[in-house]
């Protein structure tokens, strides 16, 4: 299955620096000189214990709790204020939202986790739609199909443009290896078990065909 538009976990630089700071005594005692520090925020273990802003959604909250984070549902504007104050470690968002709200100005490190896909359905009142002449029904369906393809293309372009802006600002973007992504998938299996019990297996069979 092709991965959806990148969902991103943004991490404050202070969080990355903390483990190194805690090890200063060891380095001094053993006469070790640090000549460089490599940062990787792409493992499940890296998220454990982080205070992370998530959408006001029980599914998102439980997802990040299963990953080990302290999930804090809130509006992004509230989260930005906490990020500035240094009281929030991370937030999740697509790259485009990260740029739109200027979060990349406060969080240097970004990990593409592909943890959620959120769509926006186009609804019509079925009895009204079915009462229309066939020609009008086909025209409406065709127009919506074309619009969906156009919008998805714009979304992909926006994602690419946002990534360039984030990188140009001096931020770092990490991508998961297949092994790292598998660890994220394994951690949230309880959510899938709950969904299978609630919705049945047919929906998952359709998803696998996409």
Residue 201 lies in a domain: yes
* Per-residue pLDDT, 8: 57
By residue range, what is the domain housing residue 99? 7-28+38-120+171-208
7: confidence class by pLDDT, cuts 50, 70, 90: low
Q: Are 71 and 65 in contact (CB under 8 A)?
A: yes
Residue 115 lies in a domain: yes
CATH number at residue 45: 3.40.190.170
Number of domains the chain contains: 1
Residue 164 lies in a domain: no
Residue 160 lies in a domain: no
pLDDT value at 38 more than 80: no
Residues 56-87 have pLDDT tens digits of 989 999 999 999 999 999 998 899 999 889 89
Residue 86 lies in a domain: yes
Report long-range pairs for 46-53 (Cβ below 8 Å, ≥24 apart).
46/111, 47/9, 47/90, 50/11, 50/15, 50/89, 50/90, 51/87, 51/88, 51/89, 51/90, 52/9, 52/88, 52/89, 52/90, 52/91, 52/92, 53/79, 53/82, 53/88, 53/90, 53/91, 53/92
Q: How much is the average pLDDT of 119-134?
A: 91
Evaluate if pTM is beyond 0.75.
no
Residue 142 lies in a domain: no
């Amino acid at each position: 299955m092709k991965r959806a538009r990148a969902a991103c976990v943004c991490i404050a630089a202070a969080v990355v620096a903390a483990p190194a700071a805690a090890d200063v005594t060891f380095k001094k005692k053993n006469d070790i000189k640090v000549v460089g520090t490599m940062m990787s925020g792409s493992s499940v273990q890296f998220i454990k214990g982080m205070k992370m802003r998530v959408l006001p959604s029980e599914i998102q909250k439980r997802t990040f709790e299963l990953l080990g984070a302290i999930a804090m549902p809130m509006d992004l504007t509230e989260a930005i204020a906490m990020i500035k104050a240094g009281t929030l470690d991370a937030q999740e968002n697509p790259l485009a939202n990260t740029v739109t709200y200027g979060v990349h100005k406060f969080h240097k490190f970004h990990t593409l986790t592909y943890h959620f896909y959120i769509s926006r359905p186009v609804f019509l009142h079925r009895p009204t739609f079915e009462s229309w002449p066939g020609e009008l029904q086909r025209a409406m369906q065709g127009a919506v199909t074309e619009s969906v393809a156009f919008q998805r293309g714009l979304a992909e372009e926006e994602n690419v443009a946002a990534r360039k802006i984030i990188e140009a600002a001096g931020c770092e973007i990490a991508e998961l290896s297949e092994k790292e992504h598998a660890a994220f998938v394994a951690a949230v299996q309880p959510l899938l078990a709950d969904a299978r019990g609630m919705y049945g297996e047919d929906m998952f069979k359709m998803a696998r065909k996409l």
